Amino acid sequence: MPPVTDEPFTLVIFGASGDLTRRKLVPALWSLYAGRTLPEPFTIIGSARSEVGPDEFRLRMRDAVREFARTQPPSANVWDRFAASLSYVPGDPADPALYTRLEHTLKDVEGARPGPANRLFYFATPPSLYDAIVANLGASGLANPRGGWTRIIVEKPFGHDYASARALNSQLASALREDQIYRIDHYLGKETVQNLLVLRFANEIFEPLWNRSHVAEVQITVAEALGVETRGAYYEEAGALRDMMQNHLLQLLCLIAMEPPVTFDAAPVHDEKNKVMHAIRPLDARKIDEIALRGQYGPGFAGGKPVPGYRQEKGVAPDSRTETYAALRLTVDNWRWAGVPFYLRTGKRLAKRVSEIAIRFHRTPHMIFHRAPSGVEPNELVIRIQPDEGMALTVAAKTPGPDLKLGPVRLDFRYGEVFGAEPPEAYERLLLDAVHGDSTLYARADWVEKAWSLLGPVLDTWAQASTPPPHLYEAGSWGPAEADAFIARDGGAWRQP
C-alpha cells in the first residue's frame, strides 16, 4: 500500500444531533486529533434538523467527548483548537435548500485554506433518509469532486433484504462512483479483527494448519448481555439475523476462510472475501431448520436483577416473532474448507458480552499416553474480539505429580498487557482510512448483495406465519436449549466463553 499523504479535508455529518455522532464519531475524531494523527487543517460540519447555533453544537460535542472519548481533553487550549474546527449548518436532509447552504459553507472553508477541496459526507441518519441525501448530493453537484476527492460513508444496515440492498446500491451508483462509497461495518475496524489477517498471513506456523486437514470446526460468537434497550421499534423490523449475522458475523467468517490476497490492498482483499461468499453452500429453503435456528429472550436476570422479556420491551409487539438469537451452520465448498462446519451465533440478553472466534483442531490420530484420561481436549485457538482483546491457544501438557496425567494449558496473549494501552476505537481507524482513501476495511457493493442473497431463504422462511415461532430462552442464559441439539447433530457442542 503506498504511503498516505495528509491533505486538508472537510467532514459533513448528516444526523449530527443523533447518538452515533455523540457517542462515536466526534469522540473518535477528537481522539485522532489529540493523538496527532488527524490530517490538518480540517473542518467538521454537523448538520441536523435541530435549530442550534455553532457555539451550542460545540458545547454539546464537548460534553460528548467528556463522556465517551477514549482520550480526554488535556487542557482547555487543546480542546479550543479542536472546537474551532467544529461548525453547524441546520436543515432537513430531504430539503434541497440545505445543500445550497452547505455548498456556500464548504466554499468559505476551502477558500480560507490552501490545498484541494477534499470532502467527506457521513450518513449518520436513519436509512430511510439515504435516498434523499444521495439524490440531493447528486442534484446539487456536491457528489462531484471539485479539484480534490469527494467520498461518502454509509452506515449499516445496507438494505433489509437482497432487493432493497440492490436498490440502495443502484441509488448510490446514480450519483457516485463505487470508489467514492464507503460502507462502514465498525466490526472491521476493531484491532483484533484486523489482526486476524496478520495472524494468518504474517506467521508461517498457522497457514499450513489452516485447512480441512487440521481444523475440525469453527465457531463464531457475538453475544450481548444487554436487551434491545430503547431500540425495540427498530429491532422489530430487523431482528438478530439482519442486525448482526448478515454483516458482522459473515465478515468474520470471510476473514477466517479467505485465501491470501496478492497484496493487502482494498481490491485484492475484497476479491478474496467475495470468493468465500460464492463458495458458501446455498441455503436450501426446504431444510432451513437443519441449518438455522432462532430464539427470543423471555424474562430473566441480568447482573443479579430481574429484566423483562423481549415481548415486554417498549416498542415490541406482545405477540412478536422477531428473533433475538440466531444460529447458523454454514459450509464453505472449496478445496481448503470442504467438510468443515462453520457455526455462527449471535444474541441479546445472553450470559455475557463477548465476541470471539474459536478454531477447534482435530484430535491427535493416535493417543500414545495410555494412562492419560480419554477426554483430553483437542487444541483450540480462540481469538477474542471484545472485551479483553487477545487470543489463547489451548495445548495439552503433563500435570505436576508422579502419575502421567494430561491437562489443558492456555497460552494466553492479551493486548492490554502486551501493548500497555487499550486499543483505539474502531471508528478512529475507519474514519482515518476514509480520509486517506483506503477502503480495505469497508464493505463493497457486491459483497453486501451476496450476503443478503445468501440469507434470503432463512429470512423468507422465518417470515412465514406457518413457520414455528422462535424458541424462548431465559434472559441471562446462553440461548435456547434447542441450540445445543442444533450443534449436537454433528457431535459438537457450543464453546462457553
Q: Could you tell me the three cell numbers for 9?
A: 479535508
DSSP 3-state of 63? helix
Rounded to whole angstroms, the Cα distance separating 9 from 89 reads 17
- Which letter does DSSP use for residue 246 in this model? I
Using the CB atoms, write b or e for 199-237: b if 16+ within 10 Å: bebeeeeeeeebeeeebbbbbbbbbbbebbeebbeebbe
> Residue 226 is which amino acid?
L
Q: Give long-range contacts, CB 8 A cutoff, 24+ apart: 200-208.
A: 200/260, 201/260, 207/260
**217 φ/ψ angles, rounded to the nearest 5 degrees:** -165, 160
Q: Using an 8 Å Cβ cutoff, are 127 and 98 in contact?
A: no
Q: Could you tell me the three cell numbers for 106?
A: 464548504
Q: Looking at the DSSP assignment, which residues form a beta bridge with residue 428?
A: none
Helices 445-463/162-175 angle, 10° precision:
150
Q: Could you tell me the three cell numbers for 186?
A: 465498525
* Alpha helical stretches, state H, 176-303: 191-201, 232-240, 250-257, 266-279, 288-291
Q: Cell numbers 430539503 label which residue?
A: 95
Rounded to whole angstroms, the Cα distance separating 237 from 250 reads 20
Rounded to whole angstroms, the Cα distance separating 340 from 346 reads 20
Q: 41 preceded by cis ω (within 30°)? A: yes
**284 φ/ψ angles, rounded to the nearest 5 degrees:** -80, 120
> Residue 339 is which amino acid?
G
Point out the residues that are catalytic. 248
Q: 387 preceded by cis ω (within 30°)? A: yes
**86-88 and 380-386 as β-strands: parallel, antiparallel, unpaired?**
unpaired
- Which letter does DSSP use for residue 259 in this model? P
Task: Give the other-Cβ count within 10 Å of 268's Cβ.
Answer: 14
> Residue 376 is which amino acid?
V
